[in-house]
């Protein structure tokens, strides 16, 4: 036996041991009860010290272990409206930068082309603005103009590009969010023009999935008008002349008598909170329908909100019911946001270790360079006022600005009427959403499917039976037809299966039903290569060559045939991997790994066994 024989034998032994070692976490994973398989700490606790990390294992796909499948619709119209509004501000700022005075801009969202109306105080300023703005903003076209204004709109290509980018950005943001959950091998793909498909294998909490994925994460920082008396005036007006459906009742609390407005199941009262400028009036609506009650009372009062203001709503968390509100508080906010969430570059849930902090959780934010500059300016101009942190249209908190905040850092404090674990969860969820980035447009749940846990074991059982039965048929056929050489082929076939499963575990791949089909297919293709080798050796023996010479000639002459046939299949596998999605990609990965493993076992392993029998053991003939 030459030195290369021992080198090859050592390589095969090393590959076999490595493959068996890589499959140890997978074996222990399937030994765990089904309800503990998605708890990494459980698997870590039972793994031997010499085993690979728990993450190096095969995972079960949605069709095998159950989970959640969600269809998300991206509201690209909202993204376009936001783009148009921002462009209006950009046009005004650019005109002022060029020394054109008396220019005002406003978004026109009534049409489908999303336009901006530009006005000027003089015809000369209008002509100058028209020339300067159209020269610089070449993605906009002039629609019409008169003596005092002109209208520009985005061209169709820019609109389509903005819609595509909104979906692509949403896809990236959602992928980032899901990756931070620790969900094993999620499948997140575009579907159609404005939808995203999300599959979460093993995720058992559909309510939390919808809550986190459905959040638009459109974080806005808005200054609260604490000096306005709008809510106090509205409340007194409704007390004096309650409209139909609204009753006035009296309630006593802590020795004080107060009047409240009752609208169906909600009780609305007036609150006053001390601020640096005096008392800030606000409304509190108790009851789960409190937010709707506040909006309805504003409509019934006939008192429009002050110009440039909007009503913000803050949830008052329930002390007894998780993830629900026992009431809502109103804020009078500036309609224009001072800063958007896309200026945030980092968000982390931390514990306040300072004096008096008591280890309470909070969310720390870091802004980018421009966001830090804007945040410092806004806080400096509004010391003593509240800055409402509005997340997805709901006021998350409204801390009082104590001083100018520089350095690009801020923090969001959480409510106090929750237990410590609930605060930790809330801080982590909020930081997760913010850190993942702001979605360019709201998303809605358009489809929801939950695969039950009972379906997974049934599919695993049937899939396992199909694999075992298919492999058994292949093994029996090869052993009966090729006899001794068939046994050699079967040894290579089993090693091939071991290598494929180990490689999939090393890649932390997901095993799906199509993947199982790909596994069986690769085993069949591995036999094809050995069939070519055996038939070629037979032909060489018929020509009168010795067994050793026939084996060498058979392997040498069939090499390129096997290589070419497998190469074409590899190309198809890589195409499926590049352009496919979901289960198709699982099938492609299994196919590619299987082909590479089959080439190794067919051309290296079986040849080494033949050489050992003929050269090492001195066999003069082998049943083929």
Alpha-carbon distance values, 461 to 110, 403, 468, 513, 522 (Å): 58, 65, 10, 11, 20
Q: How far apart are CA 457 and CA 448, in angstroms?
A: 22
Judge whether residue 560 has pLDDT over 80.
Answer: yes
Judge whether residue 17 has pLDDT over 90.
Answer: yes
pLDDT score, position 473? 84
pLDDT tier at 176 (50, 70, 90 boundaries)? low
Query: Which stretch of 134-148, 252-266, 595-609 has the lowest confidence by average pLDDT?
Result: 252-266
pLDDT score, position 21? 93
Task: Tell me the pLDDT of the chain averaged across its residues.
Answer: 81
CB 298 within 8 A of CB 305: yes
Tokens of residue 252, six digits: 């006593």
Query: Which stretch of 51-60, 152-161, 308-317 has the lowest confidence by average pLDDT?
Result: 51-60
pLDDT score, position 39? 66
Report percent pLDDT > 90 for the chain.
6
Q: How far apart are CA 76 and CA 168, in angstroms?
A: 11
Distance from the first to the final alpha carbon of the chain: 23
Look at the domain 85-158 and name its fold: Hypothetical Protein Ta0175; Chain: A, domain 2 (3.90.1070)
pLDDT score, position 83? 82
Query: Which stretch of 2-6, 26-30, 422-426 has the lowest confidence by average pLDDT?
Result: 422-426
pLDDT tier at 593 (50, 70, 90 boundaries)? confident
Residues 210-229: what's their mean pLDDT?
76
CB 262 within 8 A of CB 246: yes
- Strands 510-511 and 59-60: what pairing? parallel
pLDDT score, position 254? 64
> Over the stretch 454-506, which tens digit does the pLDDT of each residue have?
555 666 677 667 777 877 888 888 888 888 888 888 888 889 889 988 988 88
pLDDT score, position 165? 79
Q: How far apart are CA 118 and CA 130, in angstroms?
A: 9
Query: Which stretch of 98-112, 150-164, 509-523 has the lowest confidence by average pLDDT?
Result: 509-523
Phi, psi of 302 (to 5 degrees): 75, 10
Q: How far apart are CA 11 and CA 475, in angstroms?
A: 25
- In the chain, CATH 3.90.1070 sits at 85-158
pLDDT score, position 460? 64
Judge whether residue 18 has pLDDT over 90.
Answer: yes
Residues 531-535: what's their mean pLDDT?
87
pLDDT tier at 333 (50, 70, 90 boundaries)? very high
pLDDT tier at 217 (50, 70, 90 boundaries)? low
Query: Which stretch of 99-113, 254-268, 437-451 has the lowest confidence by average pLDDT?
Result: 437-451
DSSP state for residue 224 in the 8-state scheme: B
When mean pLDDT is compared over 104-108, 321-325, 349-353, the highest value belongs to 104-108
Residue 620, helix vs strand vs coil: coil
CB 513 within 8 A of CB 460: no
Residue 286, helix vs strand vs coil: strand
**Helix 76-97 with 156-179: angle, nearest 10 deg:** 110
Residues 357-361: what's their mean pLDDT?
72
CB 339 within 8 A of CB 371: yes
At a CB cut-off of 8 Å and minimum separation 6, what does 49 contact?
Answer: none
Taking only Cα atoms into account, the Rg of the chain, rounded to an integer number of angstroms, comes to: 34
Alpha-carbon distance values, 265 to 151, 291, 500 (Å): 48, 12, 62
> Over the stretch 237-272, which tens digit does the pLDDT of each residue have?
988 888 888 888 888 776 677 888 888 878 888 888
Judge whether residue 112 has pLDDT over 60.
Answer: yes
At a CB cut-off of 8 Å and minimum separation 6, what does 411 contact?
Answer: 350, 362, 363, 364, 365
Tokens of residue 341, six digits: 């969430």
Other CB atoms within 10 A of residue 148 CB: 12
CB 109 within 8 A of CB 80: no
Written as one string, the DSSP assignment of 328-353 is: EEEEEEESS-SEEGGGEEEEEEEE--
pLDDT tier at 329 (50, 70, 90 boundaries)? very high
Residues 530-541: what's their mean pLDDT?
87
- The CATH code for residues 219-438 is 3.30.1360.200
Alpha-carbon distance values, 94 to 91, 109, 244, 266, 368 (Å): 5, 21, 51, 48, 22
pLDDT score, position 357? 56
- In the chain, CATH 1.20.1640.10 sits at 3-65+453-616
pLDDT tier at 30 (50, 70, 90 boundaries)? confident
CATH entry, 3-65+453-616, from 1.20.140.10, 1.10.630.10, 1.20.1640.10, 3.30.70.100: 1.20.1640.10
């Amino acid at each position: 036996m030459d030195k290369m024989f021992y080198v090859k034998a050592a390589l095969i032994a090393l590959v076999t041991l490595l493959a068996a070692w890589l499959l140890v976490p997978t074996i222990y994973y399937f030994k765990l009860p089904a309800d503990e398989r998605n708890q990494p700490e459980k698997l870590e606790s039972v793994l031997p010290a010499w085993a690979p990390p728990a993450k190096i294992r095969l995972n079960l796909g949605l069709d095998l272990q159950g989970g959640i499948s969600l269809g998300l619709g991206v509201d690209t119209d909202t993204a376009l409206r936001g783009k148009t509004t921002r462009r209006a501000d950009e046009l005004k700022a650019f005109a002022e930068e060029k020394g054109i005075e008396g220019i005002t801009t406003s978004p026109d969202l009534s049409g489908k082309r999303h336009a901006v109306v530009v006005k000027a105080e003089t015809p000369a300023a209008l002509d100058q603005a028209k020339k300067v703005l159209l020269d610089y903003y070449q993605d906009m076209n002039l629609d019409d103009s008169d003596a005092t204004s002109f209208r520009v709109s985005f061209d169709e290509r820019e609109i389509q590009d903005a819609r595509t980018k909104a979906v692509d950005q949403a896809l990236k943001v959602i992928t980032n969010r899901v990756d931070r959950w620790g969900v094993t091998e999620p499948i997140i793909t575009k579907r159609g023009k404005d939808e995203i498909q999300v599959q979460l294998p093993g995720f058992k909490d559909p309510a939390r999935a919808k809550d986190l994925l459905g959040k638009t994460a459109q974080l806005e920082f808005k200054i609260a008008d604490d000096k306005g008396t709008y809510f106090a005036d509205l409340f007194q007006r409704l007390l004096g002349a309650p409209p139909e459906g609204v009753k006035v009742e009296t309630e006593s609390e802590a020795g004080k008598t107060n009047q409240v407005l009752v609208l169906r199941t909600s009780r609305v009262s007036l609150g006053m909170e001390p601020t640096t400028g005096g008392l800030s009036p606000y409304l509190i609506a108790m009851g789960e329908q409190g937010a709707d009650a506040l909006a309805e009372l504003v409509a019934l009062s006939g008192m429009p909100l002050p110009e440039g203001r909007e009503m913000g709503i803050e949830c008052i968390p329930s002390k007894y019911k998780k993830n629900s509100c026992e009431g809502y508080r109103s804020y009078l906010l500036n309609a224009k946001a001072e800063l958007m969430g896309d200026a945030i570059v980092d968000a982390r849930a931390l514990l306040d270790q300072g004096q008096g902090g008591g280890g309470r959780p909070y969310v720390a934010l870091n802004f980018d360079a421009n966001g830090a500059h804007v945040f410092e300016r806004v806080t400096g101009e509004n010391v003593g006022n509240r800055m409402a942190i509005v997340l997805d249209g709901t006021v998350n908190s409204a801390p009082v600005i104590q001083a100018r905040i520089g350095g690009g850092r801020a923090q969001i404090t959480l409510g106090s009427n929750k237990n410590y674990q609930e605060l930790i969860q809330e801080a982590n969820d909020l930081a997760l959403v913010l850190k993942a980035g702001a979605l360019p447009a709201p998303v809605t749940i358009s489809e929801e499917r939950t695969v039950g846990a009972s379906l997974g074991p049934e599919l695993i059982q049937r899939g396992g039976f199909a694999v075992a039965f298919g492999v058994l048929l292949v093994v029996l056929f090869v052993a009966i037809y090729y006899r001794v050489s068939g046994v050699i082929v079967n040894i290579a076939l089993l090693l091939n299966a071991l290598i494929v499963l180990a490689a999939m575990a090393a890649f932390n791949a997901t095993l799906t039903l199509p993947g199982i089909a790909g596994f069986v297919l690769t085993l069949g293709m591995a036999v094809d290569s050995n069939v070519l080798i055996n038939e070629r050796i037979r032909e060489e023996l018929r020509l009168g060559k010795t067994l050793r010479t026939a084996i060498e000639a058979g392997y040498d002459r069939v090499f390129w045939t096997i290589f070419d046939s497998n190469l074409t299949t590899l190309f198809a596998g890589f195409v499926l991997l590049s352009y496919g999605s979901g289960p198709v990609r699982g099938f492609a990965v299994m196919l590619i790994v299987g082909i590479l493993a089959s080439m190794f076992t067919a051309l290296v392993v079986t040849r080494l066994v033949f050489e050992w029998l003929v050269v090492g053991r001195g066999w003069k003939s082998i049943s083929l």
